[in-house]
Amino acid sequence: LKEYSENAEINKAEINSEDIGVICGGTTYLYAHEALGESVSYFKIGMIYPFPDKAVIEFAKKHKKVFVIEELDPVIETQCRALGIDVIGKERFTLLGEYTPALIKKAVLGAEIPDDNCLEESLPARPPVMCAGCPHRGTFYVLKKLGLTVSGDIGCYTLGAVPPLSSLDTTICMGASVSAAHGMAKARGMEFNKKLVSVIGDSTFMHSGITGLTDIVYNKGANTVIILDNSITGMTGHQENPTTGYTIRGEETKQVNLIALCKSLGVEHVVVADPFDIKEFERVVKEETNREEPSVIIAQRPCALLKRVKYSGHCVIGENCKNCKMCMKLGCPAISVKDDKVVIDKTQCNGCGLCVNVCPFGAISKED
Ligand code: SF4
Ligand code: SF4
């Protein structure tokens, strides 16, 4: 690899000047090019490890001044200094935030670029939302309705923290939903525990939730853990995981049975429930949180973006709508208010049907 890195085309030098050489990579290379053009030379690092020592030393020798331009920590800069190259780096560039061509031009040449990219009107806020048809929406709708304390985890479902669902109370790191809730329950006692759940995705549970659940059983806890089983690893781009039955390369393999796994850890109450069946899901959550023993609810419904999930048609709001805005509480991107009336945007709705189950007046129906 070291030999490959020294000669790889992705680690390339562009010699334009003897005065200034710039070592950079990724977006900072593009920003530097935009800011400095052909007035400087570039060493574009495409493979940072193993570091192309000889190639970088050769590049540095050809220039009077060498800058390292990289966002955040001085990783390339540290490598260069370790090789004895006298570079200019973080003494000119901030450790924080994203760089811009203007920032780079000022740091390297001392020149200002007028900031003429500002729009006169401010853009509407576009907070991140769960997708139309997202299975997690039903879970968080119920948890919010019941006013539970929700110990959250890392995944697309972390979006359950933002309005209008506003359900997650904590998100610390992978697996912490289970272990933090265990600690909360031990510290606050059984009555608090009956108003507390952990939520963790299927792949995160496999990654680092099993140990927390084992501890709950071992330490005589009584937590309720909700495994958000959407049959895929959503947040990072639909990777398979041990619960899906396919390897990361898409080959069939053994599938972990979540029910059997949780039972094998000593959890006696393991229930599978559909988060789109709002009434039943609410009943299950109430029943399991009321127990004075550990329990697991597997909230099972596949991610709406999986190819095999084929919702059809779209939903429409009928004349009997009372404009109560209950359906707005789902935070579905297809539902909005226009001229003070709730409307469903057909182009965004995928016909998942969740809003039909939420409207108290039966005003929403499906159309093909
Ligand atoms: S929940 Fe039903 S009645 Fe209320 S605004 Fe939505 S469609 Fe109308
Ligand atoms: S509008 Fe209703 S049916 Fe359409 S995607 Fe949203 S929740 Fe699903």
Q: Can you tell me whether residue 310 is helix, strand or coil?
A: coil
The reply to whether 232 falls in a domain is yes
In ligand 1, the atom with minimum distance to the C-alpha of 320 is 3
Number of structural domains (the chain) is 3
Mutate to test the pocket of ligand 2, among 354, 357, 358 (most ligand atoms within 8 A of CB): 354
pLDDT higher than threshold 70 for residue 116? no
250 and 144 within one domain: yes
Domain of 100, in residue numbers: 2-109
245 and 176 within one domain: yes
Spell out the long-range contacts of 12-15 with Cβ–Cβ below 8 A and sequence spacing 24 or more. 12/43, 12/44, 12/46, 13/41, 13/42, 13/43, 13/44, 13/55, 13/58, 13/59, 14/41, 14/42, 14/43, 14/44, 15/41, 15/62
CB 196 within 8 A of CB 167: no
- Please name which ligand lies nearest the alpha carbon of 361: 1
Cα–Cα dist 68/328, whole Å: 49
Cα–Cα dist 210/156, whole Å: 19
In ligand 1, the atom with minimum distance to the C-alpha of 335 is 6
Residue 120: the pLDDT is: 72
φ/ψ of residue 45, rounded to 5: -90, 115
CATH of the domain at 354: 3.30.70.20
The reply to whether 120 falls in a domain is no
Indicate if ligand 1 lies below 6 Å from the C-beta of 332.
no
The order of strands in the sheet holding 20-24 is 12-14, 41-44, 20-24, 65-68, 87-88
Cα–Cα dist 77/43, whole Å: 13
ipTM of the complex: 0.97
Tell me which H or E stretch contains 65.
strand 65-68
Mutate to test the pocket of ligand 1, among 278, 330, 335, 359 (most ligand atoms within 8 A of CB): 359
Residue nearest to atom 2 of ligand 1 (CA): 359
Residue nearest to atom 6 of ligand 1 (CA): 327
Q: How many CB atoms lie within 10 A of CB 38?
A: 10
Which of 271, 300, 329 is where one domain is finished? 300
339 and 290 within one domain: no
Q: How confident is the model at residue 111 (pLDDT cuts 50, 70, 90)?
A: confident
Indicate if ligand 1 lies below 6 Å from the C-beta of 321.
yes
Summarised one tens digit per residue, pLDDT across range 84-101 is 999 999 999 999 999 999
Q: How confident is the model at residue 126 (pLDDT cuts 50, 70, 90)?
A: confident
154 and 285 within one domain: yes
